[in-house]
Amino acid sequence: MCCCLTKHLPQGGTITKIILSLGFLLFSTWLAIAAEKTGDRNSTMRGKYIVEHVAMCVQCHTPRDQTGQLLLSRYLEGAPVPVKAPANLRVEWALKAPAIVGLPGYTREDGIRLLMEGITPDGTMPKAPMPPFRFIRADAEAVVDYLKSLS
């Protein structure tokens, strides 16, 4: 039966090959999408790590209670700058660090530029003590994607 089928339908092998190739293609697409999703998650986790433990954004952009502990219920919602400008430092000194949850007013590219070049969307530089960051692109993307994921 099987032999007869192949005899009468010489293209049978070709069809099987096409079906197998399509299946393989679908499977590899699925694998690629799954890998990309894991990559995104890893990058966002890396962003959180940089915000909390490396660039320390959390230390300036989260308010504190009277004992100086960070108020995590108001995580990255903006805070007064707790220290005055050193007397001999002739730079403009900010009184407040703004909310950065979701990076309001910033597109993804704006955020990346701020972290890579230290320039805001209106072309100015933030006042001290906001550090003039020089992130590499992958880290800037990770931080921006993490902050955007919080809104």
Output 1 or 92, the one with its CB closest to ligand HEC.
92
Q: Quick check: 79 binds ligand HEC (CB under 6 A)? A: no
- Cα–Cα distance, 142 to 133 (Å, whole number): 14
Q: Residue 18: is it exposed, middle or buried by C-beta count within 10 angstroms (0-12/13-18/19+)?
A: exposed
Give me the least distance between CB of 140 and ligand HEC, in Å please.
9
Q: Which of 39, 82, 131, 132 binds ligand HEC (CB under 6 A)?
A: 131
| 99 and 76 Cβ atoms separated by less than 8 Å | yes
Q: Quick check: 81 binds ligand HEC (CB under 6 A)? A: yes
Q: Quick check: 98 binds ligand HEC (CB under 6 A)? A: yes
Q: Residue 1: is it exposed, middle or buried by C-beta count within 10 angstroms (0-12/13-18/19+)?
A: exposed
Output 13 or 82, the one with its CB closest to ligand HEC.
82
Q: Residue 117: is it exposed, middle or buried by C-beta count within 10 angstroms (0-12/13-18/19+)?
A: middle
Binding interface with ligand HEC (CB under 6 A) = 51, 55-57, 59-61, 81, 94, 97-98, 100, 103, 114, 120, 126-127, 129-131, 133, 143
